[in-house]
A = this chain, B = another copy of it.
Amino acid sequence: MACWYKEADKVGDIIISSRVRLARNLSDLPFPRRMNDDMFIQLKARVKKAIDEIAATGDLKLKFIEMNAVPENEINAMVERHVISPDFARNYHDRAIAISDDESVSVMIGEEDHIRIQVIYGGMALDKAYELADCLDTALNEKLGFAYDNQLGFLTECPTNIGTGLRASVMLHLPVCESSGQIAAVSDAAGKIGLTVRGMYGEGSKAGASLYQISNQITLGISEENAISNLKVIAEQIVDREKAARASLDIKELEDAVFRAYGTLKYARLLNSEEFMKLISMIKLGINMGIIEKDTIRPIELLIIAQPGMLQKSFSVMSPRERDEARAEMVRNMI
């Protein structure tokens, strides 16, 4: 399987990607905030051992990486690829991650909780993602013993995660809902059944490239299956709303905007991040509307690899202008 953003260009339409995350803690260690250095070392060693055993007996091979061995640019790039959380990136020195080659499966060690299991796929693949996360959860639980209360469910550092410890999300591309002012309505509808709508890189961030993340908030008094199912229902409703909005577009004007975006991406010598994201969004819309052929250009992959951290990673330290230049060059080479 390719990493999620390559997959997103192949199978993703309005639903770009699906992600499931499980928060778990070992029952015989204090929560990370109360752990000392020795306990951190112990935690990492035990998780590594469990991961290695799982790899030895099954198909799931995760590579164990100490975060302090990872250069800062790569850390930023990992956030941009959605491999680690921004929170995990901010204070990563004692932390570690176990990750599959395609980066679709990862286990963050020492984030807010002892471990965070994450599975991310391109397109609508919540069931498949949950299935794998659940499987890995069961295997790790057998070896590590997770803190669990019969009344409450899984115990977590933050009370908002107690219960299932599950955070499921889908990333949606909603350019026409956005341009026609419907995001507030989408957000309200989602809020009514305990889901939230956020900009691309999670809480507090602005929506870049008209990408919105819908995720569940309720973890207590609901089964993991029901949480996933609620999210799927709402996601499909939002997809229908975006499709309806798209149906009322002036096709000739859309074609013009899409091809202009293509021309600019193909020929610009300086591309700042903000403009780049808007152009990419237009290309993605153009592909979904059948204006540009799917194989001509891979917008979601471009979006990810031309983020500042990813560019810095490829080109070493740069000024903003050099970055705009490098971004334009990278985009040209990709088209």
Chain A interface residues (CB < 8 Å from chain B): 252-253, 255-256, 259-260, 262-270, 325, 328
A260: B residues at CB distance < 8 A: 263-264, 267-268
CB contacts (< 8 Å) of A253 on chain B: these are 270
Inside 8 A of A265's CB, which chain B residues have their CB? Answer: 263
Question: Given A256-B328, A263-B263, A263-B265, 9 more contacts at CB 8 Å?
Answer: A253-B270, A256-B270, A260-B263, A260-B264, A260-B267, A262-B263, A263-B264, A263-B266, A263-B267
A283 to chain B, nearest CB (A): 11
User: Complex: how many Å from CA A43 to CA B13?
Assistant: 72
Q: Which residue of B lies closest to A321 (CB)?
A: B252
Q: Hey, which chain B residues are within 8 Å of A325, CB to CB?
A: 252
Q: List 25 A-B contacts (CB under 8 A).
A: A252-B269, A252-B270, A252-B325, A253-B270, A255-B269, A256-B269, A256-B270, A256-B328, A259-B267, A259-B268, A259-B269, A260-B263, A260-B264, A260-B267, A260-B268, A262-B263, A262-B267, A263-B263, A263-B264, A263-B265, A263-B266, A263-B267, A263-B268, A264-B264, A266-B267
CA distance A260 to B276 in the complex (A): 13
Residues of B within 8 A of A252 (CB): 269-270, 325
Residues of B within 8 A of A255 (CB): 269
Assembled-state Cα–Cα distance A253/B270 (Å): 7
Give CA–CA (A333, B199) in the complex, Å.
40
- In the bound complex, what is the Cα–Cα distance between A266 and B268 (angstroms)? 13
A252 to B328, CA, bound (A): 12
User: Which B residues touch A264, using CB under 8 A?
Assistant: 260, 263-264
With both beta carbons as reference points, the residue of chain B lying nearest to A253 in the complex is identified as B270
A267 to B283, CA, bound (A): 13
Q: Which 9 A-B pairs have the closest CB atoms?
A: A263-B263, A263-B267, A256-B269, A259-B267, A256-B270, A255-B269, A260-B268, A263-B264, A262-B267
Most buried by B among A255, A262, A267, A328: A267
In this complex, the member of A252, A260, A270 whose beta carbon has the largest number of chain B beta carbons within 10 angstroms is A260
Q: How far is the CA of A263 from the CA of B258 in the complex (A)?
A: 12
Q: How far is the CA of A280 from the CA of B262 in the complex (A)?
A: 19
**With the chains together, A262 CA to B267 CA distance in Å?**
7
CB distance from A148 to the nearest CB of B (A): 58
Q: CA–CA, A263 to B260, complex, Å? A: 7
A103 to B161, CA, bound (A): 80
Contacts of A263 in B (CB 8 A): 260, 262-268
Which chain B residue shows the least CB distance to A266?
Answer: B263
Q: How far is the CB of A234 from chain B (nearest CB, A)?
A: 35
* Chain B, residue nearest A324 (CB): B256
Complexed CA–CA distance, A253 and B253 (Å): 28
The residues of B that contact A328 with a CB separation of less than 8 Å are 256
- In Å, the complex CA distance between A252 and B255 comes to 29
